Amino acid sequence: DAKTTQPPSMDCAEGRAANLPCNHSTISGNEYVYWYRQIHSQGPQYIIHGLKNNETNEMASLIITEDRKSSTLILPHATLRDTAVYYCIVSDAQGGSEKLVFGKGTKLTVNP
């Protein structure tokens, strides 16, 4: 079973920041938080991952609360191509990603 809770859907205006929340209250100390997304009819795509500190790459930023019980994925300037299902995943193995358990995710719709 997925260890995360995400809203089923969200909307965002093009050009604005999209903030996708995720709750993972049972995360253990050595588990990472991963974010993937799946654009319609394509395979999932890795976005970012983190353990404790906030992370940023060319795609997004990941903000993890100090107690690590929740996190937020931020797409700073959403475009129409960012419309996708976004999955927040906590690794099911000791710091590893070999058994990622995908939940239902959040369906993000970016509107013009």
Partner 1 sequence: DAGVIQSPRHEVTEMGQEVTLRCKPISGHDYLFWYRQTMMRGLELLIYFNNNVPIDDSGMPEDRFSAKMPNASFSTLKIQPSEPRDSAVYFCASSFQVDVGGELFFGEGSRLTVL
Tell me the closest approach of the beta carbon of residue 112 to partner 1, in angstroms: 27
Among 34, 70, 71, 88, binds partner 1 (CB under 8 A): 34
Q: Which residues contact 29 (CB under 8 A, 6 or more apart)?
A: none
Region of 10-18, 21-29, 32-40, 76-84 interacting with partner 1 (CB under 8 A): 32-40
Tell me the closest approach of the beta carbon of residue 43 to partner 1, in angstroms: 3
Tell me which residue of 87, 73, 91 sits closest to 27, measured CA to CA.
Answer: 91
| 59 near partner 1 (CB under 8 A) | no
Of the pair 15, 95, the CB lying nearest partner 1 is at 95
Contact 48, 60 (CB under 8 A): yes
Among 29, 53, 99, 112, binds partner 1 (CB under 8 A): 99
Tell me which residue of 88, 109, 95 sits closest to 5, measured CA to CA.
Answer: 88
Number of residues in the chain: 112
Q: Is 104 left (phi over 0), alpha (psi -120 to 50) or beta?
A: alpha
- Counting residues that bind partner 1 (by CB under 8 A) gives 25
> Which stretches of the chain bind partner 1, using CB under 8 A?
32, 34, 36, 41-46, 49, 51, 87, 91, 93, 95-105
